[in-house]
Amino acid sequence: MSTQLTTTRLLAVIVVFERDLDQVLAWSFLRRSLIAAADHGGATRSCGFLLDHVLIYDNSPQARAKPSEHLPNCNYVHDAGNGGTAAAYARACALAREAGIDWLLLLDQDTTLPYGFLDAASAALMNSTRQPCALVPWVFQSARVVSPARLTAVGSVVPLRYEATPPVAHDLTAVSSGSLLLVPTLASLMPLPNGLWLDYVDHWIFAQLRIRQLPVAVFDASLQHNLSVFSLESLNLSRLTSILNGEAGFISILGIRARLVYPFRLAARVIRYAWIRPELAMHTLAWIVHRIRRLT
């Protein structure tokens, strides 16, 4: 049985760091959507997702991504302290609740939305027998699927094989950019744990959905996204620290098998880094020593 779908309002939150607004890849799409929604009185279609609010969350040290023109229902926040995606999602969730909006679209500055993206998400929502609390697209790095994925019992994230008919499941995880989340569900997870601010925020959110056995639907739209963990040549030490901290916090909520395997995964990563970029290996070892001292 399919879900009856009427117009469903959507708030997009786009997280920006050290980027001008005209360099944000999804901005032209978001700008057009806001103008179209305003020109048609908020009724640009009879059913499906209607993107009529945007939050630009600028984590740059100096404000860079503020629109130069007035746009309806466009909010700009400059967070010089860099609260990461966690702060952006919290603000977006609060703004959506104030505006009576039920869905959030999560975006980063490097995401381009393909033609038909919202139509594909709307179709997945309409065809679900039970309303999902999250809708996620296929995300690729070049030709490699990176999201959605399944989280194994030992804490490994294993991307799914692309399917023409995407699944609906309770055990999926995904990268945040391009994902749509039901606002009441995300609000129930707030505030996020201390120390979880950028890396692994998305996997932590989807792990919480898995714990609550809430359905996640995959819709047939494809995005390109570059993950830092796959680009070791450009990975800086501060971002590596963020990844390690986020991963440690994420592993802590998983089962005993994942926590037991985690030290071996770290050791294997140190060996890999030593071959590719020795400074990453030394930094990871220093992080491990510091964490052991802090826990003892």
Answer whether residue 1 is part of any domain. no
Answer whether residue 81 is part of any domain. yes
Asked if residue 55 and residue 200 are part of one domain, the reply reads yes
Among 176, 204, 226, the domain boundary falls at 226
Asked if residue 75 and residue 145 are part of one domain, the reply reads yes
Asked if residue 153 and residue 249 are part of one domain, the reply reads no
Asked if residue 87 and residue 60 are part of one domain, the reply reads yes
What pLDDT does 243 receive?
94
Asked if residue 189 and residue 248 are part of one domain, the reply reads no
What pLDDT does 13 receive?
98
Contact 124, 217 (CB under 8 A): yes
Among 226, 242, 259, the domain boundary falls at 226
Asked if residue 39 and residue 141 are part of one domain, the reply reads yes
What pLDDT does 5 receive?
53
Asked if residue 261 and residue 245 are part of one domain, the reply reads yes
Q: Count up the domains in the chain and report the number.
A: 2
236: containing domain: 230-295
Asked if residue 238 and residue 216 are part of one domain, the reply reads no
Asked if residue 217 and residue 275 are part of one domain, the reply reads no
What pLDDT does 1 receive?
42
Asked if residue 251 and residue 123 are part of one domain, the reply reads no
What pLDDT does 7 receive?
87
| Predicted confidence pLDDT, tens digits, the chain (296 residues) | 444 557 899 999 999 999 999 999 999 999 999 999 988 665 445 569 999 999 999 999 999 999 999 999 999 999 999 999 999 999 999 999 999 999 999 999 999 899 999 999 999 999 888 889 999 999 998 889 999 999 999 999 999 999 877 777 778 999 999 999 999 999 999 999 988 999 999 999 999 999 999 999 999 999 988 776 667 888 999 999 999 999 999 999 999 999 999 999 999 999 999 999 999 999 999 999 999 998 87
What pLDDT does 265 receive?
95
Asked if residue 21 and residue 53 are part of one domain, the reply reads yes
Answer whether residue 211 is part of any domain. yes
Answer whether residue 96 is part of any domain. yes
Answer whether residue 55 is part of any domain. yes
Asked if residue 133 and residue 274 are part of one domain, the reply reads no
